[in-house]
């Protein structure tokens, strides 16, 4: 069994608190045609570097019924900046066009098989996985990017086409797992392609 959710598999449900104080499950987004669940955090330079590109992509596809859901599963013991309070402040400062959820137990990150921050999971109408991996090919320095894999996947999806490149390797910092060294990754976690 692979660590990361496989193309065609159903999205695992979750019940997580958002920075707005509400709790969310997959059913909370039943009015959305498509979902982009992505694992992110408050401090990673790859996240900070690509946040504005992610914002542009989210804004571009809102009209097509695409909802973005950011999830921070990083251990605040590893990096105190990944606490819920910092998440709330970050959303207030940046007004990102997504719901930002806290996965304190890291169960959701494990269920999806999140490898890095950021790591994107695109779900179709039936909440089956149709794309997973990176957003862009240079998230730390987006001015040097040559491809936006997430935007291509969403363009194909909303047009009713098959996603031509369903798998890419996420690029970023590894998820900070509770009780582990900052650079530790589960043994079964590996590149997707």
For residue 70, the domain's CATH number is: 3.40.30.10
Nearest in space to 38 (alpha carbons), one of 145, 146, 187, 153? 153
With respect to residue 71, please indicate whether it lies within any of the assigned structural domains: yes
With respect to residue 192, please indicate whether it lies within any of the assigned structural domains: no
Tokens 């449900």 found at: 13
94 pLDDT band (50/70/90 cuts)?
Answer: very high
Tokens 């650079």 found at: 183
Residue range(s) defining the domain that contains residue 87: 9-174
Q: Looking at residue 193, what is its pLDDT?
A: 73
With respect to residue 143, please indicate whether it lies within any of the assigned structural domains: yes
Average pLDDT over every residue of 23-27 = 98
With respect to residue 179, please indicate whether it lies within any of the assigned structural domains: no
Average pLDDT over every residue of 165-188 = 90
Question: How many domains does the chain contain in total?
Answer: 1
With respect to residue 182, please indicate whether it lies within any of the assigned structural domains: no
23 pLDDT band (50/70/90 cuts)?
Answer: very high
With respect to residue 131, please indicate whether it lies within any of the assigned structural domains: yes
Instruction: Please provide the average confidence, as pLDDT, over all residues in the chain.
Output: 95
Contacts of 49 (CB under 8 A, 6+ apart): 139, 140, 141, 142
The predicted-structure confidence for 109-168, as pLDDT tens digits, reads as follows: 999 999 999 999 999 999 999 999 999 999 999 999 999 999 999 999 999 999 999 999
Integer Cα distance of 193 and 182 in angstroms: 24
Distance of alpha carbon 82 from the chain centroid = 15
Asked if residue 6 has pLDDT above 50, the reply is: yes
With respect to residue 3, please indicate whether it lies within any of the assigned structural domains: no
With respect to residue 99, please indicate whether it lies within any of the assigned structural domains: yes
45 pLDDT band (50/70/90 cuts)?
Answer: very high
Asked if residue 1 has pLDDT above 50, the reply is: no
Average pLDDT over every residue of 7-13 = 98
């Amino acid at each position: 069994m692979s660590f990361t959710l496989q193309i065609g598999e159903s999205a695992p449900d979750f019940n997580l608190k958002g920075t707005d104080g509400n709790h969310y499950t997959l059913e909370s987004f039943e009015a959305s045609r498509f979902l982009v669940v992505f694992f992110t955090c408050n401090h990673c330079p790859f996240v900070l570097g690509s946040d504005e590109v992610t914002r542009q992509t989210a804004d571009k596809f809102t009209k097509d019924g695409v909802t973005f859901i950011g999830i921070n599963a990083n251990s605040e013991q590893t990096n105190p900046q990944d606490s819920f309070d910092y998440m709330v402040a970050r959303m207030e400062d940046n007004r990102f066009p997504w719901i930002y959820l806290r996965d304190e137990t890291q169960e959701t990150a494990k269920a999806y098989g999140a490898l890095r921050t950021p790591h994107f999971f695109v779900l179709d109408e039936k909440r089956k996985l149709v794309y997973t991996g990176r957003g862009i090919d240079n998230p730390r320095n987006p001015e040097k990017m040559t491809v936006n894999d997430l935007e291509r996947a969403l363009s194909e999806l909303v047009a009713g086409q098959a996603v031509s490149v369903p798998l890419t390797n996420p690029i970023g910092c590894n998820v900070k797992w509770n009780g582990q060294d900052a650079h530790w990754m589960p043994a079964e976690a590996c590149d997707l392609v």
